[in-house]
Amino acid sequence: MKAFSLPRPSFRQLLVVAFLLVATLLGGVALRGQLTLEGLLERSRAENQRTLRLSSHAERLGEATLTMERAARQYLVLGDPTLRQTYERNAAEAAGHVQALAAGAVAPEATRAWLAQRAQIDRELREAEFVPGSRDRALAAAFRELGVQQARMGEQLRRVTEARNAALQAELDAGRAALGRLVAGATVLTLSLALGLALLLARPLRRVEMAIVALGENRLDERIDIRGPSDVRQIGRRLDWLRQRLAGIDADKARFLRHVSHELKTPLAALREGVALLQDGVAGPLSDNQREVARILHDNTATLQRRIEDLLKFNAAAFAAERLVRKPTDMGALVAGLVQEQQLVWRARRLHVQVRCHPAAEGAPLVADVDAELLGSALGNLLSNAIRYSPEGGTVTLTLQQQGDGLTIDVQDQGPGVPAAERERIFEPFFRGAQQPADGLPGTGIGLSIVAEAVAAHGGRVQLLGSPAAETGGGEATTTDSQAPHEPGAHFRITLPHALAD
């Protein structure tokens, strides 16, 4: 029975979910903040209304008390019943204000004390109602005590109002702090989601980048398997399909070149032997015209054989570039050996070949960790090209210079150089420039492509530089006193970073 497994989400789905989570977090924080703010505003509004209401009762209590005192004292003097009614009406109104204050803020003890003092004033009025003008001092003292009780209630009202305002301010501060913590938590969660999403995608994208680099470097034997979201995994499967296709095409190309080259070599060898027999007169003496035809046939078969050998060399170089055998190599000795191998050619053209080696320490060998056979083949091609295109009596300069832990190799000649229109294609396989040596056979356009293959396999690069006046970084190691900046010539530079042996 097959195990049930949930389908892997795609990166787009994860991105949508992350955005929804972020939006939910931010929306929740905003809603919580709005509700908290509205609650605090409502509390503040209610507290303000309550404070205004109690303040109004306290103010009216003061007015009613003054009216009570004035009416009572006038009643003691005049004995007018209307004044007594005014007193009683204001006393009842003042009692109502006291009850309102007691319900809102004032302690019951203060209320009872005020009511008891008011009862004392009522008794003073009853005892003196038949004796007008009497007990004025006692009544004044009773009203002073009533004022004291009223002041105590006002003080209690002020303290209660301040306490409630402080509590409201504390609640406001607590709400602000809670909202700040909520915002900070939402920010941390949002950043965590963004960081998690970035990490979730960064590793697969890095693997995609490495897979593309591997394809570009022709490492076609490494299977591409990228883990991650479903759409990224699909990209990995597509890249692996491309790798297989490229490997198949590369194998077909190599097989085609190998088969065609070998198939052509057998009849070509028979043709060359036949032409040689004709030239040797084995089939009988030849007339002048027949000898000319035999010579043309001999030259063309030789050209065709060189083309086939070049194809085999290109195929072999591409194969060797994939399987480097690095070992510490004395680069000065390697270049000197290449110059010695081609000595007969450049001496026949009366050329001067200069080798300049500039290691970090004077007199020390310049040792690099390279495939000597493959890199030597590349340098031999550059030297051969420089010799072919140099004019008789010219100078070819090879300069080796240490650059940190890397190495640069410059090959310069005094030939016609490379036209600007051909500089971009000079390293393409089978590309031949318009300028060919007048006294030599045209090339096949494979030599520089072999150089590019070999240098790229070592992790370096080869460049066709401009005129010496436009060069930088060469210093005295790449220019000569006899070569003026305006003189023509080709200047190739091989750069091998991190190539020096420890």
| Same domain membership, residue 138 and residue 280 | no
CB 387 within 8 A of CB 349: yes
Among 195, 216, 244, give the residue marking a domain's end: 195
Smallest Cα–Cα separation from 374: which of 415, 431, 313, 293?
313
| Same domain membership, residue 60 and residue 190 | yes
CA angle 120, 125, 130 (to 5 degrees): 145
In a domain, 218, yes or no: no
Please state the φ and ψ torsions of residue 407, each to the nearest 5 degrees.
-145, 140
| Same domain membership, residue 337 and residue 252 | no
Angular region, 5: left φ>0, alpha ψ -120 to 50, beta rest: beta
| Same domain membership, residue 272 and residue 354 | no
- Written as tens digits, the pLDDT of the chain (502 aa) is 444 455 666 666 766 777 777 777 778 777 877 787 787 778 778 878 888 887 887 788 788 888 887 887 787 777 778 888 888 888 888 788 788 777 766 677 777 777 787 887 777 777 655 455 556 777 777 778 777 777 777 777 788 788 878 887 887 788 778 777 877 887 887 788 778 777 777 777 788 788 788 777 667 777 887 777 777 777 888 888 888 887 777 777 767 766 766 667 667 777 777 777 777 777 778 777 877 877 887 777 777 776 677 666 666 666 655 667 888 999 889 999 999 988 888 888 899 999 998 876 676 788 888 888 888 888 988 998 888 888 888 999 999 998 888 899 999 998 888 888 888 888 877 776 666 665 555 566 677 888 888 888 888 899 998 753 333 333 333 333 333 344 568 899 999 987 786 6
In a domain, 175, yes or no: yes
In a domain, 115, yes or no: yes
Instruction: State which amino acid sits at residue 214.
Output: A
**Residue 49, domain extent:** 11-195
Angle between helices 288-321 and 372-389 (to 10 degrees): 140
**DSSP states of 116-160:** HHHHHHHHHHHHTTTSTT-SHHHHHHHHHHHHHHHHHHHHHHHHH
Task: Give me the residues paired with residue 281 across strands.
Answer: none
The structure's pTM equals 0.44
| Same domain membership, residue 172 and residue 65 | yes
In a domain, 88, yes or no: yes
- Residue 238, token pair as written in the block: 């597509």
Question: How far apart are alpha carbons 137 and 76 in whole angstroms?
Answer: 11
Q: How many CA atoms lie within 13 A of 186 on its CB side?
A: 19
pLDDT of residue 214: 77
CA angle 455, 457, 458 (to 5 degrees): 65
| Same domain membership, residue 191 and residue 91 | yes
pLDDT of residue 468: 36
- Residue 413, token pair as written in the block: 């000649």
Question: How far apart are alpha carbons 483 and 468 in whole angstroms?
Answer: 9
Among 171, 195, 219, give the residue marking a domain's end: 195
CB 382 within 8 A of CB 451: yes
Strand ranges in 62-215 using DSSP code E only, listed in sequence order = none
CATH number, position 277: 1.10.287
- Residue 231, token pair as written in the block: 């759409």
Instruction: State which amino acid sits at residue 29.
Output: V
- Residue 325, token pair as written in the block: 């055998």
Q: Is 219 helix (H, G, I), strand (E, B) or coil?
A: coil
Q: How many CA atoms lie within 13 A of 447 on its CB side?
A: 16
pLDDT of residue 443: 60
Question: How far apart are alpha carbons 387 and 366 in whole angstroms?
Answer: 25
| Same domain membership, residue 112 and residue 30 | yes
Distance of CA 332 to the CA centre of its chain: 43
How many CB atoms neighbour CB 72 within 10 A?
A: 26
pLDDT of residue 134: 52
The model's pLDDT over 421-438, given as tens digits with 9 standing for 90+, comes to 888 888 877 776 666 665
Among 300, 318, 336, give the residue marking a domain's end: 318
pLDDT of residue 412: 92
CATH number, position 342: 3.30.565.10
In a domain, 149, yes or no: yes
Report how many domains make up the chain.
3
| Same domain membership, residue 336 and residue 191 | no
| Same domain membership, residue 248 and residue 105 | no
- Residue 71, token pair as written in the block: 């009416």
> How far is the first Cα of the chain from the last one, in angstroms, to the nearest whole number?
59
In a domain, 216, yes or no: no
Smallest Cα–Cα separation from 104: which of 170, 166, 157?
157
How many CB atoms neighbour CB 89 within 10 A?
A: 14
pLDDT of residue 361: 67
pLDDT of residue 400: 92
**Sheet arrangement for strand 352-358:** 352-358, 395-403, 406-412, 491-496, 461-465
| Same domain membership, residue 298 and residue 385 | no
Question: How far apart are alpha carbons 411 and 396 in whole angstroms?
Answer: 7
In a domain, 209, yes or no: no
User: Regarding beta strands 395-403 and 461-465, do their DSSP bridges make them parallel or antiparallel, or are they unpaired?
Assistant: unpaired
| Same domain membership, residue 299 and residue 345 | no
In a domain, 501, yes or no: no
| Same domain membership, residue 170 and residue 33 | yes
Please state the φ and ψ torsions of residue 327, each to the nearest 5 degrees.
-160, 155
Question: How far apart are alpha carbons 348 and 336 in whole angstroms?
Answer: 18
Question: How far apart are alpha carbons 90 and 492 in whole angstroms?
Answer: 116
Please state the φ and ψ torsions of residue 356, each to the nearest 5 degrees.
-120, 125
Question: How far apart are alpha carbons 168 and 347 in whole angstroms?
Answer: 104
pLDDT of residue 319: 60
